[in-house]
Amino acid sequence: MEAAVGTTKACQILGKPRATLYRQRNPTPPRHGPRRPFHHPAELSEAERAQVLAVLDSPRFADKSAGQVWAILLDEGTYLCSQATMYRLLRERGQSGERRAQATHPAKKKPELEADGPNQVWSWDITKLKGPARGVHYLLYVILDIFSRKVIWWEIWPTENGTLAKEFIERAIDANGAVAPEAIHADRGTSMTSNTVTGLLAQLGIDQSHSRPRVSNDNPYSEAQFKTLKYCPAFPGRFGSIEDARIFCCVGHIVGPPHR
């Protein structure tokens, strides 16, 4: 059949791939012994590789990339090898990453504040309450004593900034009989870490503590209080106005003095 219709047509009729036919007719001769490694004629010798690595690791070039080293040496009339070879040698030694000195920061210690009496540690935070339309929110400021979970003071404002936060803490201290706590804990929001709040606490001699960066559970007392509020069956989900939100908090859903 193959002689009459050709190899391609015969394979199509019989359903046999041509590659299989050719491989069966011309099998690959078996290899004897392990395959010899291929060495390019221009491959660097061990001494040359050591010389290139010594230059890359020298104090002059220790913080520069292989491309920068190659260009500087070329400007000086020195050619050791190509950029690709430099990168390959560094990659083999695990040095192909960032070669510049990197700043190191110690791990943030988990804040552990304990209170065995009132006015020792306060915790405060800000949460959003949904307004009448999408994108409209009201900000609920709440500060509480972690010893008794008593709400010292709360307020609702349409915005959040350091000035409001500073005045909020001042009014909380006044509402507590002008008695300031020993320490105040908060997360790392912009208001909590603002210079106005930091300056006020320093002026009053109040130690301040903050949650670790990108850790959401280092302020558990305030977060738990907000969850209790928002999971209340009477919580409306949305408020028609900021006054509606204040009235909702005034009727006992937040325990504490009324807002200002």
In this predicted structure, what is the pLDDT of residue 160? Answer: 92
Residue 151: CB atoms within 10 A of its CB come to 17
Domain 121-253 top-level CATH class: alpha beta
Answer whether 0.75 is exceeded by the pTM.
no
Tell me what pLDDT residue 142 has. Answer: 93
* Percentage of the chain modeled with pLDDT above 70: 95
User: What is the distance of C-alpha 230 from the center of its chain?
Assistant: 27
Q: Which residues fall within 8 angstroms of residue 204, CB to CB, at 6 or more apart?
A: 173, 180
pLDDT at 33: 67
* DSSP code per residue over 32-81: -SPPPPP--TTPPPHHHHHHHHHHHTSTTTTTS-HHHHHHHHHHTT---S
> Which positions ≥6 away from 142 have C-beta within 8 Å?
124, 125, 126, 127, 151, 153, 154, 222, 225, 226, 254
pLDDT on residue 253: 57
pLDDT tens readout for residues 176-206: 999 999 999 999 888 999 999 999 999 999 9
Distance from C-alpha of 105 to C-alpha of 45, rounded to nearest angstrom: 41
Q: What is the pLDDT averaged over residues 202-231?
A: 88
For 104-134, write each residue's pLDDT tens digit: 777 777 777 888 999 999 999 999 999 999 9
Q: What is the pLDDT of residue 88?
A: 92
Share of the chain above pLDDT 90, in %: 47
What are the phi and psi torsion angles at 143 (to 5°)? -125, 135
